[in-house]
Copies of this chain bind each other. A is one copy, B any other.
Amino acid sequence: MKWDELEEEPCSMARTIGVIGDRWTLLILRECFLRTRRFEGFQSALGITRHLLAERLKKLVRQGVLRRIPYQESPKRHEYILTQKGLDLYPIMMALVHWGDTHMVDERGRPLLHEHRKCGKTFDPVMVCSECGEPLLAKEVHVHPGPGARPAPERVLLDKKAKPKPRRKAA
């Protein structure tokens, strides 16, 4: 499967993965949320090759996750700023951090703590139901096809079963 096919899939998760589902893109986005805005900033913070960085930034701009805004004329220079679409990735970032905090820390403890300005406390992010406010558990959620589903409802991604797929040589 190629990257762009992913974005065509009738599955919101596959489409999201098509946009941000690779390690460098995710790390670049982390930097964005840590207020990095410029090419050199990303490069030195991450150690990513400039080649890839340029490519990933271009893609994020194309996807509307970042906006490229001039911050000086001559030589023309730009900053990369999160759009609303980009800011909306925040729950994903927090979910990633929280899983790492829970399952990937060493004896020293968490590398970062998060403080919620509203209540002033160090917190963990919790995923709740928009309707009843209860924390979400996988077991308590049922999935069913929505208006954008494809005909066969049980298969949301590629259905390679449709292919003849001879598994031993026919000769």
Contacts and interface: CB of A to CB of B under 8 A. Distances in A.
Contacts of A132: 116, 118-119, 121, 123
Given A1-B47, A140-B117, A96 B13 contact: yes
Q: Quickly give the copy total for this chain.
A: 2
Most chain B CB neighbours (cut-off 10 Å) among A106, A138, A155: A138
B143 A112 contact: yes
A127 interface: yes
Contacts of A61: none
The A interface is mostly helix, strand or loop, or mixed, namely mixed
A166 to B, nearest CB: 14
Nearest to A82: B138
Interface of A: 1, 3, 6-7, 10-19, 21-23, 26-27, 30, 33-34, 43-48, 64, 85, 87-106, 108-119, 121-134, 136-138, 140-150, 155-161
